[in-house]
Structures are given as C-alpha cells and as structure tokens.
Amino acid sequence: AQKVTQAQTEISVVEKEDVTLDCVYETRDTTYYLFWYKQPPSGELVFLIRRNSFDEQNEISGRYSWNFQKSTSSFNFTITASQVVDSAVYFCALSEVQAMEYGNKLVFGAGTILRVKS
Amino acid sequence: DARVTQTPRHKVTEMGQEVTMRCQPILGHNTVFWYRQTMMQGLELLAYFRNRAPLDDSGMPKDRFSAEMPDATLATLKIQPSEPRDSAVYFCASGRTLNTEAFFGQGTRLTVV
C-alpha cells in the first residue's frame, strides 16, 4: 500500500531563512508520481510540482527547490529566503501508476504547517 | 483562467438533513476526485471518476454518502442523512489524464449541527 509521511508537523522560521520540508514515501510500484501542494490560509490547494519516479533530477523554480532521492524514498522541498507569504500548510502526495481503466488517485501526507515570521 | 468550481462554499445544516455539494471540473478534464479534509484524518479520498464512471468509492460511507456525475460538467456529492461527524471541508479536484496533477476547487466547508 502507498503511504506518505511528513514527520514535521509544524515549522517556524524567521523571514529570509531557508527551510526544508521533509517527505518520505512508501510504494511497491516502480513507476509512480510525487507531488507537492500548498494550502494557504485561504484554504484552497495549490499545485506546486509533480515528479515521476524515473526522473531524479532536482528541480528549482525561483525560491523553491525539490530534492528527489529514490534511495531514501524521499522528496524534500526547500524554500530559500522564506517570506511571510510562504506561510501555509504544505502537502506531499504520491500516486501509483495503475492500469488505465482504473485511473489514478493521490494519497496525501498529513501536511507540514510552515509559519514564517517577519 | 480555468479552475474547478465548487458550490456552496459554506454550508451549515442540521443533523438529519440532506446535503448536496456540487463541482464543475475544468473543461476537458476526464478525472474527478472528491476529498474530505479534517483535522484528525487529514485529506481522505472519498471517490473518484474517470470519464464519468465511478472507479473507486471505497473511501465513502456507503450508507449515507453518494457521488455521481450526471454529465461531464457536473459532479455531485450527497450526504443523507447528515451527521455532526460529517463536518469537514470537502474538496473536488479534476485532472486531464492519468497521473498528471489534480487541480483542486476551493472546497465546501460543511458544518452539521
């Protein structure tokens, strides 16, 4: 069965600090997808990134970067020079590839609350 | 700017009443998901559809919950009768193809008193 663990329940940092959010996953599939979503105080879930299991290259998007390591089953998310607007709950999610007729679904971690103080 | 639209945004109802939540997926998306978010359980998948056909609703309490897609532009989630433990935020999400990201609506915050 697939499982996603976000061990950090809550992280508080001061603006401009770098912060890393951890995500560890479990799956029996060799082909799968990993995602990060952001849930700001307004409540909606905002898609940030998707990676497939065959692409271990790290990705950078502005102040955001992601480190995918299959050897440790981890997909960590780093925010560089954090800002108050980064305050949100961040969710890591996993999707296993299934037969086409069975579609696809996301399994979410419990989320990490990030508080960035000015 | 395409987005998933959910109505109502907020709903307060009395125990025992029927509740219907609606979702308009992004045009062209063929997969629709219903999730429920609570403090205790986090984000739980209730049901999902592919090309309007229900694929998995094992996460739903069958005796009181039902999910349907009357057409490609509308998904509904009904609770009858509602109970206080159903109080949560219900999210609808849609996706275009297999294993691409799902785009979420703003959610319906349900309070059952």
Instruction: Convert the pLDDT of each residue in B15-33 to its tens digit.
Output: 999 999 999 999 999 899 9
Q: Do B42 and A110 touch (CB under 8 A)?
A: yes
Q: H or E segment at A65?
A: strand A64-69
Considering chain A, what is the average pLDDT of its residues? 91
Q: Hey, what's the torsion of the CAs at A37, A39, A40, A42, to 10 degrees?
A: 140
Compute the distance between CA of residue B8 and CA of residue B109 in angstroms, rounded to an integer.
8
For the cut 80, the answer to whether the pLDDT of residue B48 exceeds it is yes
Percent of chain A with pLDDT over 70: 94
Identity of the residue in A42, A47, A91 whose CB atom sits nearest the CB atom of B101: A47
- Residue A41 pLDDT: 92
Whether B101 and A50 have beta carbons less than 8 Å apart is answered as yes
Residue-wise pLDDT for A28-75, tens only, equals 888 888 999 999 999 999 999 999 888 888 888 999 999 999 999 999
- Residue A100 pLDDT: 46
Q: Do A104 and B95 touch (CB under 8 A)?
A: yes
